[in-house]
Amino acid sequence: MKGNDIERKITIIGAGPAGLKAAITIADLGGEVLLVDENPYVGGQLVKQTHKFFGSKELYCGLRGFEIAKIFEEEIKKRSNIELFLNACAVGLYLENNKKIVALVKNEKLMKITTDVLIIATGAYENFLLFENNDLPGVYGAGAVQTLVNQYGVRPGKSCLMVGSGNIGLIVAYQLLQADIEVKAVIEILPKVTGWYVHYAKLKRCGVPILTSHTILKAIGKDEVEGAVICKVNRNLKPIKGTEKRLKVDFICLAVGLTPFTDLLWQINAKLLYIPELGGFVPYYDENYETSIPGIFVCGDVSGIEEASTAMIEGEIAGISAYEKIYGKRKETEALKEKKKKELFALRKGPHSKKILIGLKKLKNGY
């Protein structure tokens, strides 16, 4: 392993919007940083997003996710103090004195990175759902379908049942229509649609049935999905007998939430708290995004499921904090951090952030 051992001051795991912004911020302050990602490209989730983003100009509103990823790619290339490892998956994390040791599989070879400061920006993974036959080929996560259709131009089928009416369910359902795939219905177990009205309205205009207070009972098929049975649920979200309905579809798409990708944090015994509003177990972190392990920072979806816009600002704050840890605090860094905190605060003022704010309060109080 010796030939592959390297030492760095600051390392970031994950080149999604959070990790990318952290790297750019550190570089622009004059620091050196190593950024690693398991994919052969940068951008994380952005790469598969073909819809236009909302928000402010600074946060790339009006651009499509994959266009934002391209901008990031160019920005990274421009900065010689950002070292980028792609096809590089962090598979282990260990602590040795004050150092952090990352076991990395890069181009199928194991290597060891010893780093003083580490930013974990690993994002999230998709939730699954329990129902009969949920292991039949043709039952997908919505993110996986988005990757197939938008990134690789592969249609997973001709007609789909979308389970879940959050933003991801609504956006992916619309993108399936754009790919000439029939969306038989979007079903939602709660009595109302949980995603933004703008995404809901687009589907409604296209005549897609959006059935609230409905769930999936089973997937039908022998070797692959040939249909689904859905039904109405009562106030306690329990199936109502006699309301079952068969839908003929050849794939089922689950958009039932995301869970923060905290595996590396568990390995080092970092403090994690169960906060449903933030997506499940999330690392405890302070106002500088430093976890319970000194010198290890988090940002983006791994610290709580939210959005690319907030992930980017969190990345900037974590980046400034990581920089300060190595190169020391300056008036300029402190002022920039305060500015970013205010921007984040402003971004979370809308009604959609209510749940996040409850979760963050619990996190602050150590729940």
Ligand X SMILES: Cc1cc2nc3c(=O)[nH]c(=O)nc-3n(C[C@H](O)[C@H](O)[C@H](O)COP(=O)(O)OP(=O)(O)OC[C@H]3O[C@@H](n4cnc5c(N)ncnc54)[C@H](O)[C@@H]3O)c2cc1C
List contacts with ligand X (CB under 6 A).
Answer: 13-19, 36-39, 44-46, 49, 53, 89-90, 121-124, 143, 146, 167-168, 171-172, 261, 300-301, 306-309, 311
Work out how close the CB of 73 gets to ligand X at its nearest, in angstroms, rounded to a whole number: 13
The C-alpha atoms of residue 155 and residue 140 are separated, in whole angstroms, by: 12
Least Å distance, CB 302 to ligand X, is 6
Q: How many CB atoms lie within 10 A of CB 261?
A: 18
Distances (CA, A) of 131 to 36, 98, 192, 223, 235: 37, 46, 22, 17, 20
> Which residue, 231 or 302, is less far from ligand X as judged by CB?
302
Find residue 246's DSSP bridge partners: 229
Q: Which is nearer to ligand X, 170 or 249 (CB)?
A: 170
CA separation for the pair 148, 253 (Å, rounded): 12
Q: Which residues contact 31 (CB under 8 A, 6 or more apart)?
A: 9, 10, 81, 322, 323, 326, 327
* Minimum CB distance to ligand X, residue 18 (Å): 3
- Among residues 139 and 220, whose Cβ is nearest to ligand X? 139
Tokens in use for 52? 């236009």
Report the amino acid identity of residue 83.
E
> Least CB distance from residue 353 to ligand X, whole Å?
12
**Could you tell me the smallest distance in angstroms from the CB atom of residue 246 to ligand X?**
28
d(CA 41, CA 84): 10
Angle between helices 17-29 and 65-78 in degrees, nearest 10: 30
Q: Which is nearer to ligand X, 31 or 143 (CB)?
A: 143
How near is the Cβ of 249 to ligand X at its closest, in Å? Answer: 20
Check: CB of residue 191 under 8 Å from CB of residue 168.
Answer: no
| Closer to ligand X by Cβ: residue 17 or 239 | 17
Q: Give 127 or 133: the residue with its C-beta nearer to ligand X.
A: 127
